[in-house]
């Protein structure tokens, strides 16, 4: 067992969840200097870029159960390591949500009823999109995310640019889908805030596990079929 890989995944997922959700909770609508939707989207993308360079050589920098499962479906990751990777990712995301809660609750006007960057559909979708629209959005976005990860980490792809391609893909995904689901494409990122919000966030959490994982498998399998040489970096998205 390579414990360092799992610790790296926990740290990386902590950073993604803390930075990304933190930008939404603390900075998106801050008076006069709020970063808005564009800022939140770039923060999520930059969190992946920075961690890909920092821990890609250790764990592959998945930071996401859907990425781990999708890479396994695409023949890039051993199935036997899926569960410990996912456990590490969820631990990192929950810890990040806990730290973010401590910080956010220090503001007099803080209220978990504001959503705490949780993902949702129907009445809890930022744009009030229905369940089918949200399900399709999460599946499609995650499928393309895995497709880009598989391609940019392929052995024939330009060396050293994968983190940028993957991070920019996540920015694009958020720019499109924040109004729909508040953007998950990552079950661990969704689980952290949902555990603190409880209620509706936990009731709707099933979608943000099932849809991203289905999308990840689709993206991984399609790229594996499309590529004439599916081999690449076995550990994942670095």
What digits encode the pLDDT tens for the residues 10-40? 999 999 999 999 999 999 876 666 889 999 9
Is residue 238 included in any domain, yes or no?
no
Q: Is the pLDDT of residue 237 over 60?
A: no
Tally the domains of the chain: 1
For residue 81, the enclosing domain spans 3-108+115-226
Backbone angles phi, psi at 232, to 5 degrees: -165, -150
User: Token pair 């990304």 is at which residue?
Assistant: 20
SS (HEC) of 126-183: CCCCCHHHHHHHHHHHHHHHHHHHHHHCECCCCCCCHHHHHHHHHHHHHHHHHHHHCC
CATH number of the domain that residue 32 is part of: 1.20.1080.10
Is residue 231 included in any domain, yes or no?
no
What was the pLDDT predicted at 155?
A: 79
Q: Indicate the DSSP class of residue 105.
A: T
Is residue 66 included in any domain, yes or no?
yes
Which value, in Å, is the radius of gyration of the alpha carbons in the chain?
Answer: 17
Both structure tokens of 102: 């401590």
What was the pLDDT predicted at 112?
A: 92
Is residue 233 included in any domain, yes or no?
no
Residue-wise pLDDT for 59-90, tens only, equals: 999 999 999 999 999 999 999 999 999 999 99
Nearest partner of 88 among 107, 63, 70, judged by Cα: 63
CA angle 66, 16, 100 (to 5 degrees): 125
Cβ contact 170:48 at 8 Å: yes
Q: Indicate the DSSP class of residue 122.
A: G
What was the pLDDT predicted at 236?
A: 40
Is residue 236 included in any domain, yes or no?
no
Both structure tokens of 147: 């497709």
Cβ contact 185:64 at 8 Å: yes
Is residue 52 included in any domain, yes or no?
yes
Is residue 234 included in any domain, yes or no?
no
CA dihedral sign, ordered 193, 64, 147, 221 = negative
What was the pLDDT predicted at 29?
A: 79
Nearest partner of 149 among 173, 165, 171, 172, judged by Cα: 165
């Amino acid at each position: 067992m390579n414990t360092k890989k799992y610790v790296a995944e926990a740290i990386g997922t902590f950073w993604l969840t803390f930075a990304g959700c933190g930008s939404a909770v603390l900075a998106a609508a801050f008076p006069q200097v709020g970063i808005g939707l564009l800022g939140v989207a770039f923060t999520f993308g930059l969190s992946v870029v920075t961690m890909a360079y920092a821990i890609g050589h250790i764990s592959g920098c998945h930071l996401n159960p859907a990425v781990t499962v999708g890479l396994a479906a695409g023949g890039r990751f051993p199935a036997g390591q899926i569960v410990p990777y996912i456990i590490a990712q969820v631990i990192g995301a929950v810890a990040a949500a806990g730290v973010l809660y401590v910080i956010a609750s220090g503001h007099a006007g803080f209220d978990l009823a504001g959503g705490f960057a949780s993902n949702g559909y129907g009445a809890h979708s930022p744009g009030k999109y229905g369940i089918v629209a949200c399900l399709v959005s999460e599946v499609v976005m995650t499928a393309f995310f895995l497709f880009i990860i598989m391609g940019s980490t392929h052995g024939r792809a330009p060396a050293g640019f994968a983190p940028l391609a993957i991070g920019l893909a996540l920015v694009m995904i958020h720019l499109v889908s924040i109004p729909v689901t508040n953007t998950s494409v990552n079950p661990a990122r969704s689980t952290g805030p949902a555990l603190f919000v409880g209620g509706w966030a936990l009731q709707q959490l099933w979608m943000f596990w099932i849809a991203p994982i289905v999308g990840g498998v689709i993206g991984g399998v399609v790229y594996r079929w499309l590529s004439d040489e599916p081999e690449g970096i076995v550990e994942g998205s670095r």
